[in-house]
């Protein structure tokens, strides 16, 4: 089974920009892995921010964007807000199977 | 509005079978444009997709390699629900278990667009 890797933790200043990445043990992440990004706050189920690399859900703030960067999937937050402090998980698809990354704890400080 | 309501025991003894059910309202387990997943989360293992079942002229399932030998996900069309059975559990299977829906919209699959409320299952004697 593939292993999906994320930064364990990152810190961003309010109003700042940060990029979270998502790599695959099988090689470069491509659009064919249909990268997803989820945000999870304590006591809540994860919620989709980005699907299929760069598509946003209706509730996704404009400050979040998804892309492929250097062989990884990337989630960029531009203009961080205190309410963006959360755990972020990526998800990659491998044919019928899905694998989550270990999550990035994002601190806004 | 889709709702997923989970039920099942919160405590399971080691070596026994973990069983959870996810009752669906607002959609059909037999829908040709949906798939029905189980996911779990624990501090040690993080989020882990376990598997899914879906109907496209016949029933299909996909399972994570990590649990493939121990897991069964079954649809129940008479009750519009689906279930998780995980055999031979150990304390490592202690986690919050979620059911979740995939929705197929045109050429796109929206993974996990609706989630159940989560069920904490503890494996302990």
Q: Which residue of B has its CA nearest to A51?
A: B110
Interface touch A91/B62, C-beta < 8 Å: no
- Residue of B47, B64, B108 with shortest CB distance to A97: B64
Exposure string for B16-26, b = 16+ CB within 10 A, e = fewer? eebbbbbbbee
Residues of chain B with pLDDT under 50: none
Q: In this predicted model, what pLDDT tens digit does every residue of A57-90 receive, in sequence order?
A: 999 999 999 999 999 999 999 999 999 999 999 9
DSSP-derived letter for residue B57 is S
Q: In this predicted model, what pLDDT tens digit does every residue of A15-36 receive, in sequence order?
A: 999 999 999 999 999 999 999 9
Token representation of residue B24: 């669906």
- Give A-chain residues touching B66 at CB under 8 angstroms: 1
Rounded Cα gap, residues A89 and A73, in angstroms: 11
């Amino acid at each position: 089974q593939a292993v999906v890797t994320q930064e364990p933790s990152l810190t961003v200043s309010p109003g700042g920009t940060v990029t979270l990445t998502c790599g695959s043990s099988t090689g470069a992440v491509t659009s064919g892995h249909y990268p997803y990004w989820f945000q999870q706050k304590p006591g809540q189920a994860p919620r989709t921010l980005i699907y299929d690399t760069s598509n946003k859900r209706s509730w996704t703030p404009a400050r979040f964007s998804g892309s492929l960067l250097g062989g990884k999937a990337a989630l960029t937050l531009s203009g961080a807000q205190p309410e963006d402090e959360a755990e972020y998980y990526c998800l990659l698809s491998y044919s019928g199977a899905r694998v989550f990354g270990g999550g990035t704890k994002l601190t806004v400080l | 509005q889709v709702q997923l309501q989970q039920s099942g025991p919160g405590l399971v003894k080691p070596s026994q079978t973990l069983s959870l059910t996810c009752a669906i309202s607002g959609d059909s387990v037999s829908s040709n444009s949906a798939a029905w997943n189980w996911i779990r989360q624990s501090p040690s293992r993080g989020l882990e997709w376990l598997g899914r079942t879906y109907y496209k002229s016949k029933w299909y399932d996909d399972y994570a390699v990590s649990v493939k030998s121990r897991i069964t996900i079954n649809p129940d069309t008479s009750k519009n629900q689906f279930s998780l059975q995980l055999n031979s559990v150990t304390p490592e299977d202690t986690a919050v278990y979620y059911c979740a829906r995939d929705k197929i919209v045109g050429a796109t699959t929206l993974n996990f667009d609706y989630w159940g409320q989560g069920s904490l299952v503890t494996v302990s004697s």
